[in-house]
Amino acid sequence: MDMDVLNMFVIAGGTLAIPILAFVASFLLWPSALIRIYYWYWRRALGMQVRYANYDDYQFCYSYRGRPGYRPSILMLHGFSAHKDMWLSIVKFLPKNLHLVCVDMPGHEGTTRSVLDDYSISGQAERIHQFVECIRLNRRPFHLVGTSMGGNVAGVYAAQYPEDICSLTLICPAGLPSTTESKFIKQLREMQESERIDRIPLIPSTPEEMADMLKLCSYVRFKVPQQILQGLVDVRIPHNDFYRKLFLEIVNEKSRHSLHENMSKIKAPTQVIWGKQDQVLDVSGASVLASAIPDCHVYILENCGHSVVVERPRKTANLILEFLALLHSMGNNKKQA
């Protein structure tokens, strides 16, 4: 074989080997870094841009796509201990011309974390209102989406700032009393009785605890490699003290039933999406909302747990789009009448 051809193959092989070896090394030695790269790549692929907004000395981190148009902008509020990138699985199935905004909730990811901040549900709703005013999202009423803790905040926001929003989607929201005790609530009760508040199921510290949390939150059984579980834990461990403080804040008397206490004030058309097999917050909460909010559309997803956004992203995106289209059609009919 000609030496030039041989050298070409050697160089080509070396060029391919470097990224492969880098990937293997990252997977084995630094899985948390690989997870961050994964989210960075996914954001870029979906056209989501990260920006910061400041309210006095407080900083909000958010991602967005598109510009405000004739259709309402959509603001998405994530759940406890998550971050703005959890919505990427939904964003994938939403039209690119929709104006989408995903914000890191107070104290999470790139948004300011302060020991002086009020992390109650009403305190978080006030912070989100500050964010909305910072980016002038409420120049026109927008559609607000929230899941779990973020659903609790979204519902309270809709009650406290009704002029800001045109419609609301609540996905397995917290903040409601339920007629049926979920597996998670039973675990919490047992934890309180044994005074073991250091073992909160939603705050894992080991790969095994992370696997247990995923089983608790999801009906679909995802096969997650041990290294990825370790990476997910590594990303969370530096924040676990904050998560414990936040958790105790949102389950105390002031915040535990915030959504229930405010739902009679919600006047916007409301969509409720809930996984039928939710083991964190029992699906009976959907009927509580339906009985209290006049214009409430309820969708119960079969074979789905608490992590609706991850388990059924396409279905969830379609339900949101169908709900918005229905409201648009109803609005046009009223104008013609």
Per-residue model confidence as pLDDT tens digits over 246-285: 999 999 988 999 999 999 999 999 999 999 999 999 999 9
pLDDT of residue 23: 37
Catalytic site includes residue 278: yes
Instruction: Output the pLDDT for position 158.
Output: 98
Residues of the chain with pLDDT under 50: 1-29
Which pLDDT score, from 0 to 100, does residue 336 have? 61
Q: CA dihedral defined by 181, 104, 155, 179, rounded to 10 degrees?
A: 0
Which one is catalytic: 85, 104, 164, 278? 278
pLDDT at 8: 40
pLDDT of residue 227: 85
List Cα–Cα distances, 74 to 97, 213, 234, 235, in angstroms: 12, 29, 31, 28
- Our answer to whether residue 89 is catalytic in this structure is no
pLDDT at 211: 95
Q: Where are the domains of the chain?
A: 47-336
Rounded CA-CA distance 306/214 in Å is 10
CATH code, 47-336? 3.40.50.1820
Q: How far apart are CA 325 and CA 223, in angstroms?
A: 36
DSSP state letter for 63:
E
Residue 143 is a catalytic residue = no
Query: Beta-carbon neighbour count of residue 251 at 10 Å?
Result: 15
Which residue of the set 63, 167, 306, 307 is catalytic? 306
Give the contacts of 74 (CB within 8 A, at least 6 positions apart): 94, 98, 99, 100, 101, 142, 143, 144, 145, 320
CB atoms under 10 Å from CB of 49, counted, come to 10
The answer to whether the beta carbons of residues 136 and 59 sit under 8 Å apart is no
Query: What does pTM read for this prediction?
Result: 0.90
pLDDT in the model for residue 332: 67
Q: What backbone torsions phi and psi does residue 301 show, to the nearest 5 degrees?
A: -95, 120
pLDDT at 240: 96
Give the pLDDT confidence score for residue 199 in this predicted structure.
81
From 148, 218, 258, 307, the catalytic residue: 148
Taking CA atoms, 195 is separated from 201, 249, 252, in Å, by 14, 17, 16
